[in-house]
Structure 1
Amino acid sequence: MAEMSTTSTLPERLQLHGSDHPGMVLVSAPLNGNNYLNWSFGVKRALRAKMKLGFIDGTSVKPNANDPHFEQWIRVDNMVTTWILNSISKDIVEAFMYTKSSRNLWQDLEQCYSECNGPQMYQLQREISSMLQGNSSLSTYFTNMKRLWDEMAELKPTPQYTCNGCKCGTWKAVPDSAAFTQLMQFFMGLNDAFVNVRHQLLVMDPVLSINRAYSMVQSVEKQKQIQMKIADTTEHTILHVRGDGKSDRRRNVADRRIQYCTHCQRNGHNRDSCFKLHGTPDW
């Protein structure tokens, strides 16, 4: 009971729960030296969920040795270090086994595998600018485009405002401008099959969010798919009916060829339908 009381008085960042064990892996894909950007984003997200992000970004500072939380801080820091090491490929993890703290480990990994943002941003921008839907489905095209946008956003530096609280609202225009750019990039890469809906969405006021625009274009794609299925079914039915009609006519011709009239002694009809015997019908 006393142990539970002690744990409950600790700050959340210094608490370890039953699921927090040394064998835990933070991300599904380990760091292999070439995937640092995505890997680091996943690790930070996992640590943020556990209230442990401060150990690697420097905001959770190591207390003095006489601080009552000193030993617990060391314990949690060792746990975070172990989690990160577990999330590194076996081919490269040996180089970081003796790092003294999770903060030092994170800084070492960043220095070794984080490329300069400039070349990465240039390459990402080239991929975004040249991306076309082509033979891809709409969902695949949008997913690939969104992945590039997210990577670009992760690399871009966050604007720093030196004024004492923005009152003119200029800070709101930064994300709005980025969202509008993404919308234009998405529309530019769409196939010509969506030219009509693209024009309709471009003239809407206010401008749609990228997610809303994707949803509406996706609805049009589904309608086109349904119409194509209906058209294919109708065409198949028509061809089937035409085929049956031709078969019936062939059977009628064949039937007439084997018929024989005993009255006029001719082929092609029988006695019951003989015009010479019964006269011409009033058609």
Structure 2
Amino acid sequence: MAARNPRGANAAPIPPMEDSSSPYYLHPSDNPSFQLVPHVLIGSNYINWSRSVTTTLLAKNKIAFVNGTLPRPTEDDWLFSAWLRCNNMVVSWLRNSISAQICSSIMYIDNAHEIWSDLRDRFSQLDTARVYQLRQKIMSLTQGNEDVNTYFTNLRILRDEYRHSQPITWCICVICRCNSASKWNSYQEEECSMQFLIGLNSSFSQIRSSILSKIPMPSLSKVFSLVLQEERQRTIDGNSSYTSVVTPSVSEQPYSANAAQSYNRNRICSHCGKTNHTVDKYFVLHGFPPSFGKGKGKFNAKDGGSFSKSVNYVENSFDECEKSSISTSVDVPSPEQCQQLIHLLQTQLATAAATPSPLPSASPNNPPTTNCASFTGSFSGNCDWEG
């Protein structure tokens, strides 16, 4: 690699080990005990770990030692010692950023590029089972009892890992002019926004409808910002949701709520089968109390015992109980029974008419009376009205 010479073309070149823009340059603060990322590699977090390590190596200008762009020079090369020193420094950084179990498996690999390739081959391959698992978690993820920020973070973690398994673009052009990568990125972002809105609680239905009605649909960051603003507004107002319970007024409440101490719907009359009373307090059978009808209703005898109810009376229990009492307490005879009863009465009347009753003796205190049968038919009796 040619070294830059800021002193001019005729001046002596700067050695790569002293040039801050060269990958062979080591800062005085660089030491083998340095850890590249705070979270070590445990296997399942390889995607996040690799991206964090790549960012740190790019900042330290040492990415060329792991991606293979700066291969190992020959031993007779004058930069061999500088490469070996920087390579061992990167190897120490990688080992410090890996768990002890995984580090033991790469302890005998001295090339940083070989270590990076080995870790990528072991942990970066997403099989079909892992893709299915990620897709299932994304589809079943909902907000639940979590706040909007936590729910969005969990969804973004799963979505980014799933997105990493998908192709970057579908472009097949030699020199891309269709802007396929940008369109594919926009589509993935819109899919994540849609999934975020689907998993929100029903209390955010109003802001969700407002976002879906916008054309074109806002970006994922804008959607999250709008929903988060809605949640903060509810926190300021002191309401966790827009769902409110309206308590009815006293006049709109049913009679059972206004007079819960007088009537109990759990009580059932054994005579009529209705609620709100028992057979021992059935007024139709036992009579109405003297104070009945004051404030609630009045008993009207002209209408056959009907009851004029007030507005808050619970139901037509009195009329129904009265009808039930009439229908159950009186047995209507059949036509045959009526004919037998008439025949029996006629027989008794005929027998009474044929048998004369003896007249009582007359006395001053007991005047004679006349036995006059008050039956229908001819009258055969002697009555001396004048004495």
2-structure distance, mates of 1:87, 1:71: 25
Q: Counterpart amino acid of 2:86?
A: V
Paired letter, 1:51:
N
Q: Are 1:75 and 2:85 matched, yes or no?
A: yes
For residues 172 and 42 of structure 1, do their structure 2 counterparts lie closer, same or farther at Cα, with a shift above 3 Å needed?
closer
Preserved contact between residue 117 and residue 155 of structure 1 (Cα < 8 Å)? no
Q: Which moved more, 1:156-165 or 1:209-218?
A: 156-165
Per the alignment, residue 103 of structure 1 pairs with: 113
Matches within 5 A, 1:1-283: 7-9=17-19, 11-159=21-169, 161-228=171-238
TM-superposed deviation, 1:22:
0.4
Shift in Å at residue 175 of structure 1?
0.6
Report the AA paired with residue 20 of structure 1.
D
Q: Which amino acid aligns with 2:150?
A: T
Q: Deviations over 1:189-243 (max 9, x none)?
A: 011111111111112123211111111111111111222269xxxxxxxxxxxxx
Cα–Cα, structure 1 residues 204 and 176, in superposed 2: closer, same or farther, change >3 Å? same
CA distances 1:39-92 after superposition (whole Å, capped 9, x unpaired): 222222221222222222222222344443232122111111111011122233
Aligned length: 230
User: 2:42·2:102 contact (CA, 8 Å) conserved in 1?
Assistant: yes
* TM-score (ref. length: structure 1): 0.73
Unpaired runs of 5+ residues, structure 1, are 231-283
- % identity of equivalent residues: 34
Question: What is the alpha-carbon distance in structure 1 between the residues aligned to residue 61 and residue 196 of structure 2?
Answer: 36
Contact conserved, 2:62 with 2:90, CA < 8 A, in 1?
A: yes
Task: Tell me how far 1:181 sits from its aligned partner.
Answer: 0.5
Which residue is equivalent to 2:294? none
TM-align CA RMSD: 2.6
Q: Are residues 160 and 110 of structure 1, via their aligned partners in 2, closer, same or farther at CA, if it must alter by over 3 Å?
A: same
CA 1:56–1:76 in 2, change beyond 3 Å: closer, same or farther? same
Counterpart CA distance in 2 for 1:58 and 1:160 is 27
> Which amino acid counterpart does residue 208 of structure 2 have in structure 1?
R
Structure 2 stretches of 5 or more lacking a match? 1-11, 241-387
Residues of 2 paired with 1:49 and 1:227: CA distance? 46
Shift of 1:150: 2.0
Q: Secondary structure at the match of 2:62?
A: coil
The structure-2 alpha-carbon separation of the partners of 1:169 and 1:31, relative to structure 1 and needing over 3 Å to count, comes to closer
TM-score using structure 2 length: 0.54
Shift of the alpha carbon at 1:5?
Answer: 6.1
Quote the offset at 1:108 in angstroms. Answer: 2.2
Residues 4 and 60 from structure 1, CA distance in 2 versus in 1: closer, same or farther, beyond 3 angstroms? Answer: closer
Deviation at 1:31, TM superposition (A): 2.0
Checking the alignment, whether the CA contact within 8 Å between 1:183 and 1:209 is kept in structure 2 is yes
Distance 1:66 1:160 in 2: 46
The structure with higher relative contact order (CA 8 Å, sep 6+) is 1
The letter for the 2-side match of 1:183 is S
Deviation at 1:161, TM superposition (A): 4.3
Aligned-pair distance for 1:18? 1.8
Q: Is the 8 A contact 1:34 1:113 kept in 2?
A: yes
Task: Name the CA shift for 1:59/1:117 in 2 (closer, same or farther; >3 Å).
Answer: farther
SS, match of residue 197 in structure 1: helix
Q: Which has the larger radius of gyration?
A: 2
